[in-house]
A and B are shown apart, each in its own frame.
Chain A
Amino acid sequence: MNILLVILFILFPPEDKIKIKDAWMRPSSENMATALYFIIENNGSKADTLFQVDCNFAGKVEIHETYSQGDMMGMRKVDFIIIDGKSSFEFKPGGYHVMLMKLKKDINDGDEENFVLHLKQAGEIVITATAKKPE
């Protein structure tokens, strides 16, 4: 029975319920801030919640949203993001982003860095983001 399950697993590997796509960040310099952007795809039927992001090269990491008020723009911390089942959520310039503060080093164009995303259902997911200038 166990062998059959292993064969089935090899032939039909379960699809990841949470997929992270197109992770990138802006170049920035030591002691400054930057933003991480990506798309979370939730292929499962149940909602999941992103509540924390970590990395080892920023003094502080927070989930933020950019908002407008008249012709002014600001940003504020949000505690979590809910990604409904069978849907995706995009962190993008001018919208939601992961703010990386007090950078411990320069982030140059082309640099790659790892992040750990903490989700209530999926647990910890490690992603790699590339620093680049947007198009």
Chain B
Amino acid sequence: MKKLILITLSVTLLLSLSCKDNLPLDKDLTKKSYTLINQDSVEVIFPENIIGHITVMGFIYTHCPDICPMTTHNMYLVQKQLNEEGIDNVKFIAISFDPDRDTPEVLTKFAEIRDLDFNSWTFLTGQKNTVDEMMKRFDVKAIKTDERIDEEGNPEYSMMHTDRISLIDEHGILRKNYKGSTLNFEELINDIKTLQD
């Protein structure tokens, strides 16, 4: 009997270690807070706003025609798959690293045209220095490229940026990063289930 208990405990320990290997990061985001605004222009303190929920977070800018819409759509597909499996308590956050152009109104339209549900989705923007600091915390880089002035005198640019979706647990600990535009859906969904167990 003792042998059986020992074997069971060893297997449990091994399984637990193996699950932890799948979630290699352990960055406590609660050590620093950021005051941002959401798509409704309501002030949001990150990461206080996500404590208690597993969060899938994407880093985007809305003037991006290709990569960021792919990232956003991949998050939508993850949500759809989770909902089909009866998992509906995961939060989805898209934060813009282009706060100069991504105002709450712009973010709202970006979400609405994609039928994203604000019950589980939040879009964040904020003061540029706050957003820049937060990007550093997540090790996300975003650099303006092709800067020019258009015919009406407005600045025009693209951005070269880290292609990123992050998984944050319910305690505000960053657990894993993924490629946003070419996301491995199965990997992220399995990791979310691991966090739920």
B-binding residues in A (CB < 8 A): 26-30, 32-35, 64, 66, 68-69, 71-77, 93-94, 97, 99-101, 106-109, 133-134
Cβ contacts under 8 Å, B158 to chain A: 74-76
Q: Residue on B with the closest CB to A96? A: B66
Contact B181 A73 (CB under 8 A): yes
Q: Are the C-beta atoms of A69 and B160 separated by less than 8 Å? A: yes
Assuming the contacts A26-B65, A29-B109, A94-B66, asked whether A74 and B145 have C-beta atoms less than 8 A apart, the reply is yes
A32-B106, A33-B64, A75-B66 given. 13 additional CB < 8 A pairs? A27-B114, A33-B65, A34-B69, A71-B164, A72-B141, A72-B162, A73-B161, A75-B67, A76-B145, A94-B67, A99-B65, A107-B113, A134-B73
CA distance A100 to B65 in the complex (A): 8
Contact residues of A: prevailing secondary structure: strand
Option from B70, B73, B113, B161 in Cβ contact (under 8 Å) with A108: B113
Q: Give Cα A33 to B112, complex, Å.
A: 15
Task: Give bound CA distance, A72 to B179, whole Å.
Answer: 10
| Residues of chain B within 8 A of A72, CB atoms compared | 141, 143, 160-163
Closest to A30 in B: B109
CB distance from A114 to the nearest CB of B (A): 19
**Interfacial residues, chain B to chain A (CB-CB below 8 A):** 62-67, 69-70, 73, 106, 109-110, 112-115, 141, 143, 145-146, 158-164, 179, 181-182
A97 and B163 within 8 A (CB)? no
Residues of B within 8 A of A30 (CB): 109
15 A-B pairs within 8 Å (CB atoms) are namely A28-B65, A32-B62, A33-B64, A34-B69, A35-B69, A71-B163, A72-B162, A73-B162, A74-B159, A74-B161, A93-B181, A94-B66, A109-B115, A133-B73, A133-B114
Chain A residue, CB-CB nearest to B164: A71
Contact A76 B146 (CB under 8 A): yes
Residues on the B chain within 8 Å of A97, using CB:
65-66
A32–B110 contact, CB under 8 A?
yes
Once the chains bind, are B63 and A33 in contact (CB under 8 Å)? yes
A97 CA to B164 CA in the complex, in Å?
21
**A73 and B65 contact, Cβ closer than 8 Å, known pairs A28-B113, A29-B113:** no
